[in-house]
Amino acid sequence: MTFRRYLVLAFVSVSAPLGDTFLDVGMKRIGPVSPAHITTLFHAVSTPWVAGGIVLLIGFFASYLTALSWADLTFVLPATSFGNVVVALLARFWRHEQISLARWAGIFLITAAVGFVTQGPSYTEHEQPITAPDAKEVCHP
C-alpha cells in the first residue's frame, strides 16, 4: 500500500458521509415521501442539497472503483467504515441530532474492528487471475 492509495481510501471515507449528510438535509426539507407519491424521489434529485450530495457520491464512487481495482472488497469496505464516525459527527454537530452513549459505543466498536482489518493484507492473489478480453487489450497493447 502506497501513500497515494491511503489517500484514495481517505477520500472514500470522507466523501461518502458528506454526501449522505447533504442528502439528509435535502430529503428532510422535502419531507416524508409516501409510497403513493414515490415519483417525488425523482424530483428530489434536482434540488440543490440532493444534487450536491449526488456529486459527492459520484466522487466517492470513482475513488471506490479505483480502490477495488487493487484491493479486496472485504478490505476496502471495512477500511472505509471510518465514514460512520464522520456521519455521527456531522449528524451531531451539523444536523443537531441526539446521539446516545450506546450509539457512540457502537460506532467506536465498528471503527476499531475495521481498523483492525486494515492491518492485514489488502489483496487475495488467485492462482489463475481472471482477466477480461477488453482489459487484456488495454493492459497489454
Partner 1 sequence: MSMLHHSAMANAAMIGSIVVAATVGDVLIASAMRRIGDLDEIKAHSGLIGAIRAVITNTRFFCGVAAMAVSFFSLLFALSHADLSLVAPASASLTVVTNTIAGKLFLKENVDKRRWLAALCVCVGVVLLAR
**Which residues form the interface with partner 1 (CB under 8 A)?**
17, 20-21, 23-24, 27-28, 30-33, 38, 41, 44, 50, 57, 65-66, 68-70, 72-74, 76-78, 81, 83-84, 87-88, 90-92, 95, 97, 99-100, 102-103, 105-110, 112-114, 116-117, 119-121, 124, 126, 130-132, 134-135, 138-139, 141
SS (H, E, C) 69-125: CCCCHHHHHHHCCCHHHHHHHHHHHCCCCCCCHHHHHHHHHHHHHHHHHCCCCCCCC
Which residue, 102, 101, 56, 65, is CA-closest to 83?
A: 56
Write down the least CB distance from residue 97 to partner 1, Å: 5
Give the nearer residue to partner 1 in terms of CB position, either 52 or 70: 70
